[in-house]
Each structure stands twice: as structure tokens, then as C-alpha cells.
Amino acid sequence: MKTATIAELKSELNNIPATQLAELCVRLAKFKKENKELLTYLLFEAFDEDAYIESAKQEITRQFEEMNTSNLYFVKKSLRKTLRYTGKICRFSGLAETEVRLLLFFCVTLKASGIPFETNLVINNIYLNQLKKISKTIAGMHEDLQYDYVRELDKLK
């Protein structure tokens, strides 16, 4: 089976009645958990981005609190898990500001956690890569927003 392009799907979806479109969305949500999570975001949380970011920050904080810090190997695994969650939240939102705010929060939380990430090459690289990602995302934002976020980013370097 050949997969249709996004343009073809969009034009076909425009021709479908609303009830049939709702049925297609529900059917799509049944196949993957991520589809269901995205649909939940779009229907219930997209209208209030600040509340969405706050709930994501609470989840990131919870994951840091539950992190097994007995060995840096487990810390690395937990940090990657937290970053996968953060990336998924950023993808759902699609807004650069949300991505910057959540990644800054991740870096601040990592720094405040007391984990000696500077001594471990892999964990330090994870941290530095997030700083690069933040810097790159900030560069594409409006100038007024850039100033505030660059100041926060400079505090982390």
C-alpha cells in the first residue's frame, strides 16, 4: 500500500463530513498511545498553553524526584527518559516558546538536583546538547522574547 502525502490527506479530509471525520479521529486514536495523547492535547489543553507547560513542569519535577541517583548509569537513563517526555510535549505544542521554557526548566532542574553531571562525560554532553538546542530555538524567535530567554540561558552556562 502506498502512503498518501500530507497534501492529499488534507484535501481528502476537507471533503469528509464532520461525523465521519470524528469517527476517523477516534479510530486513529485507538492505534497508538501517542496519537491519543496528541488528540487529548489538541482537544483539551491547546487553548491554555501556560497550564499545559505547568503540568509538564510538574511531571518533569516528579521524574527528577523519582530518579535513582545511586549510580550515574541510572541517572543517565532517567535523564534520557525525561528528555523523551519533554520532547514529546514540545512536539505536541509545536511552539518554540514552549520548547524553550521546558528545556530551560529541565536544565535548571538538572543543575539544582545536585547530580555531579560535570564529572560524567555522557551526562554533561546531554546537558550541553540541551543548551545548544535552546540556543538554536531562541535564535528563531521574536527579538523581544529572545532577550529574556538569552539572559536565562546565560545563567546556565
Give the count of beta carbons closer than 10 Å to the beta carbon of residue 150: 15
pTM (2 d.p.): 0.88
| pLDDT by position in tens, the chain (length 157) | 788 889 988 888 899 999 998 998 889 889 999 989 998 998 899 999 999 999 999 999 999 999 998 888 999 999 999 999 999 999 999 999 999 999 999 999 999 998 888 888 999 999 999 999 999 999 988 888 888 889 888 888 8
Q: What is the DSSP string of 21-77?
A: HHHHHHHHHHH-HHHHHHHHIIIIITT-HHHHHHHHHHHHHHHHHT---SSHHHHHH
Buried b / exposed e over 12-31, threshold 16 CB at 10 Å, is eeeeeeeeeeeeeeeeebee
